[in-house]
Structure 1
Amino acid sequence: MTSPIDTSDTTTGPVLSMHGITKRFGAVEALVDVTFEVRPREVVGLIGDNAAGKSTLAKIIAGALQPTAGLIEIDGAGVTIGSPSAAHRLGIATVFQDLALCENLDVSANLFLGRELNATGFLHEGRMAQLTRSVLRDLRAQIPSIHTPLHQLSGGQRQAVAIARTLIGEPRLVVLDEPTASLSVAQTAEVLTLIERLRDLGLGVVFISHNLTDIGATCDRIEVLRHGRNNGSFAGSSVRQADLIAAITGAPGYGTAHS
């Protein structure tokens, strides 16, 4: 494994710490003794080949799966993330690849889907519209109108809506699963700008991707999983793609057998 990143100049403790995380599905070990952490104002890239354990780790953070063993801490206190609603209460928001948005609803309705504001039994549409504009302004998202139906938006704009939706719950940590997959170059650039904006707003961000160029351009730190185990930790500002590929594939000099 590569040398740990020097974080001695970081004054803020991790918002999320995971120690010795193991997840078994019967005889299959999807994760084995994984350590992972994210600090406020930090974008952490999570990479690895198919079946490396990235999605399993993301689902554990999101409360969709529970670890077989290990400790999870939020702000240094041990927690159990027993469900997605528990994750939400702890300030964790996740955007999976399917986005979980409704094509027939407009931008504002999608942001508050399942969390609509009510006043005396009626939807408080004015307040929801106001908050939608505020969130999109904070993200500097390029959305034509909050009343535009989702099906009229580009792939990048839909990602922007999904990311903006996470901010309605005022999270401290946002997990993004392959947010730039299947996007054009221009749309990818828009999404990467949104990720950087989340960091500027003070959030911790987990960025899961197969695209090493996107990861290298955006992340402060990059963590590699291989066969469900930690297999490298890199500073995003100075990493070479060749080193990331070596850690992903298990080339000599990288891996749990090489300290």
Structure 2
Amino acid sequence: MNFKDSLYLNYDGISSRDFGIAQMTTQSGLFEEMVGVNRSLMEERIDGNDFSYTFGFKTDPREFDLELYFEDGFDDESLNKVIRWLYKNYYKPLFFEDKPHYVSYCTPVGQPRLLHNGNGEGYYVVPMRTNSAHIFSPVSRSDVFDCSANETIQYVEFMNIGNFDIKPDLYIHKIGDGDFEIINLSNQGYSSKFTGLADRETVYIDNYHEIIETDLTQTHRAENFNHEYLTLIAGLNRLAIVGKGSFYFEYQFVY
């Protein structure tokens, strides 16, 4: 995604406007930006063989410079405020205010630099490193898919507008005792199925970290699950629902 043409940014929930800071670029001519995923091949070559054997890809976090211009000049106090804003103990969300639907989780690394004219005018260059090769959308919640009147099978659709597959958080509210199954017809028919759920039970599934929770006390549902954690592919997902209940997703699109 292109960000060099954006002026104002938000880091850790705080706008650069609060510090009188705008993004600038020292590049001349066309903007140069990183677009796509930083990845490398995992491969092995046997001596005497002209071909490499590939075992997949390894993705690496992105690194980039924030070039921050002090619109009204700077002094020691304003510099210290900016340093306290940026230097936290963990990755924090960064987005540009004209593109709030693209979020990177990043933190300063390396040696920052202050370039100035000796009269309180200049800009601050901060190297940043992300925790992922990807950019994300903000956390969103889908509509509730109501299948409470389902007698046989019901079809619903979900559009993943990102560039990559996602594993959403899934919330199921069961109606009536019995099974509940989600079959992703767009992903080779993989099925995520619970058996023996209780009437009005709510089950939470973190499909990415493979965590299952229920609102019933002294109850564990791992043994009731087929351990096919739901993946929503990039593009249209057509889902077949077997069983009565409702469900919704919490997710971030991945770019």
Q: TM-score w.r.t. structure 2 length?
A: 0.23
The structure showing larger relative contact order (alpha-carbon pairs under 8 Å, at least 6 residues apart) is 1
Q: TM-score w.r.t. structure 1 length?
A: 0.23
In our comparison, the structure showing a higher alpha carbon Rg is 2
Decide which structure has greater strand share: 2
